[in-house]
Amino acid sequence: DAGITQSPRHKVTETGTPVTLRCHQTENHRYMYWYRQDPGHGLRLIHYSYGVKDTDKGEVSDGYSVSRSKTEDFLLTLESATSSQTSVYFCANQGQGNNSPLHFGNGTRLTVT
């Protein structure tokens, strides 16, 4: 069990509004990730974090920012939502140890109208 809770599970917002998605983990894992899932694209990395206040960009980071002020929380912010950001967003963490794989939350479905 990854112990990941994503909130909200569903959100509808209008173009141009800011949106923040939250990922909370019950474990104390150092590495956390944000992915988006789109039909025909699989999952693509948006941002990741390797510790408190340590974050870096992934493949599709334009239009997104993240923050990690506590180990257990990793926030994804869309500064000004666009219709192209309609997607399902997944948070993941990586367990302790060098051979630990990613474990995913249940996702947030975001619709930008």
Establish if 77 lies at the interface with other proteins (CB under 8 A). no
The size of the chain, in residues, is: 113
- Say whether residue 89 binds other proteins (CB under 8 A): no
62 binds other proteins (CB under 8 A): no
Q: Is residue 41 part of the contact set for other proteins (CB under 8 A)? A: yes
Structure tokens at 37: 């899932």
Cα–Cα dist 42/34, whole Å: 13
Q: Give dist(CA 105, CA 23) in Å, integer.
A: 8
Q: Should residue 99 be labelled a site residue for other proteins when binding is judged by CB under 8 A? A: yes
Decide whether 83 or 106 has the Cβ nearer to other proteins: 106
Longest dimension (CA), the chain: 42
Q: Which residues form the interface with other proteins (CB under 8 A)?
A: 4, 31, 33, 35, 40-45, 48, 56, 58-59, 90, 92, 94, 98-107
